[in-house]
Amino acid sequence: MVRINDTTLRDGEQAPFVAFNTKEKIEIAQLLFEAGTDEIEVGIPAMGKKEREDIKEIVSLKLPIPLMTWNRATMSDLESSLDCGVNSVDLSIPTSDVLINVKYKGDKAKLLKNLEQVILSAKKENLIVCIGGEDSSRANIDFLKEVFIMGAELGVDRFRYCDTVGILTPMQTFKNILELKKLNLLEIEMHTHNDFGMATANAIAGIEAGATSVNTTVIGLGERAGNASFEQVLMSLTHQFNEHRKIDATMLTKLVNKVSIAANKPIDDNLPIVGAHIFSHESGIHTNAMMKNTSSYEAFCPEEVGLFRNYPIGKHSGTSTLDYHLSSFGIHASKRKLTSLLPKIREIVTMRKQVLEPFELRELYLCS
């Protein structure tokens, strides 16, 4: 199975105006495990004492999955991670010429020497080591291959391919990952950003090309436009890749709501997988079909993600919707009468910009 490494507690918290407290971090970590993540990136130890204390609190939960920290490829960052007691580290390096010039004044030899030293030290501590290729999508492919070769020789476990500024399309992502996968040197982890609205699509494209791990954040929380969504990737792996994952709808709902509240980020009603209205069917043609077969216009059942199906009485509703709601009151409606009500319902809904409640429909029907 593809490994989900969720980074809500690291990259998710780097979203502007977001700050989790210790209690929230602990609760989110526990819920992430119970909702089905395979690994958790828990934070950045080099941020300081308080961050390390929070990470230690999460480590003390003794969750039966790897806990990873994010680090620059420096000995001081690694030592901070070792102090926290985690078993996995991401060692981040800039890989594009733009960022290598900014952070290393263009000195790739120095960058690789630093990386080698930190990798060797991390492997001596028996840590799982991931090289984080910051800005991989703008990097020279030959330099990435050089990093892959060195990493494989040093016993690195995987390479995190980062579309740091979210510039890729799914097709280009697929081609790039396939090219690196052909080296057959390191496992590849996808880390995608949503600047053009393609984070989850690019993450999935990378998996299709052979990536075996993927970074996610709950509700796509993250820097700028955010990251690939945990709940979207989880459901994609389950339904589109046919992975045998047990999704606990209750825990997923608790996780999504917890992150939404802690981040002060409301969940859009039409957010894929978890939006409150994504199982609402108003169109008369759709509703009529759904009442005959619920798979007509749904990719998966609402119960899987803790939601429910709804047939709002709106401008586009047909007689099937009206009959459905009236029957719940024990009213056996006349098709002719229902048809005659539709223009009035459309007028009301359009005027007040709000659907009818079932009790309003009942009154309208009985008074007509």
pTM of this structure: 0.94
Q: Flag whether 279 is in a domain.
A: no
Instruction: Give residue 368's pLDDT.
Output: 82
Tens of pLDDT, residue by residue over 65-118, are: 999 999 999 999 999 999 999 999 999 999 999 999 999 999 999 999 999 999
Same-domain pairing of 200 and 132: yes
Same-domain pairing of 22 and 134: yes
What's the CATH code of the domain at 159?
A: 3.20.20.70
Same-domain pairing of 300 and 206: no
Average pLDDT, rounded, for the chain:
97
Structural domain boundaries enclosing 56: 3-262
Same-domain pairing of 182 and 74: yes
Are the C-beta atoms of 165 and 125 separated by less than 8 Å? no
Nearest of 72, 52, 149 to residue 118 by alpha carbon: 72
Give the tokens for residue 262: 């802690």
Angle of helix 141-153 relative to helix 108-124, nearest 10 degrees, comes to 30
Please identify, among 227, 262, 297, the residue that sits at the C-terminal boundary of a domain: 262
Instruction: Give residue 224's pLDDT.
Output: 96
Check residue 206 and report its DSSP letter. Answer: H
Buried b (16+ CB within 10 A) or exposed e, 159-169: bbbbbbbbebe
Tens of pLDDT, residue by residue over 124-158, are: 999 999 999 999 999 999 999 999 999 999 999 99
Per-residue pLDDT averaged across 221-248, rounded? 97
Instruction: Give residue 286's pLDDT.
Output: 96
Same-domain pairing of 229 and 329: no
Give the tokens for residue 309: 């199906």
Same-domain pairing of 296 and 255: no
Same-domain pairing of 223 and 291: no
Instruction: Give residue 323's pLDDT.
Output: 96
Is the confidence at residue 53, as pLDDT, over 90? yes
Tens of pLDDT, residue by residue over 275-303, are: 999 999 999 999 999 999 999 999 999 99
Instruction: Give residue 97's pLDDT.
Output: 97
Please identify, among 262, 297, 319, the residue that sits at the C-terminal boundary of a domain: 262
Instruction: Give residue 285's pLDDT.
Output: 95
Q: Flag whether 194 is in a domain.
A: yes
Which residues share a beta bridge with 159? 131, 188
Rounded CA gap, 31 and 6, in Å? 12
Same-domain pairing of 26 and 105: yes
The residues, ordered by sequence, that sit 6+ positions from 212 with a Cβ below 8 Å of its Cβ are 2, 3, 158, 187, 188, 189
Rounded CA gap, 210 and 302, in Å? 30
Please identify, among 211, 231, 262, the residue that sits at the C-terminal boundary of a domain: 262
Same-domain pairing of 20 and 163: yes
Same-domain pairing of 54 and 107: yes
Residue corresponding to tokens 């909702």: 35
Total tally of structural domains belonging to the chain: 2
Q: Flag whether 314 is in a domain.
A: yes
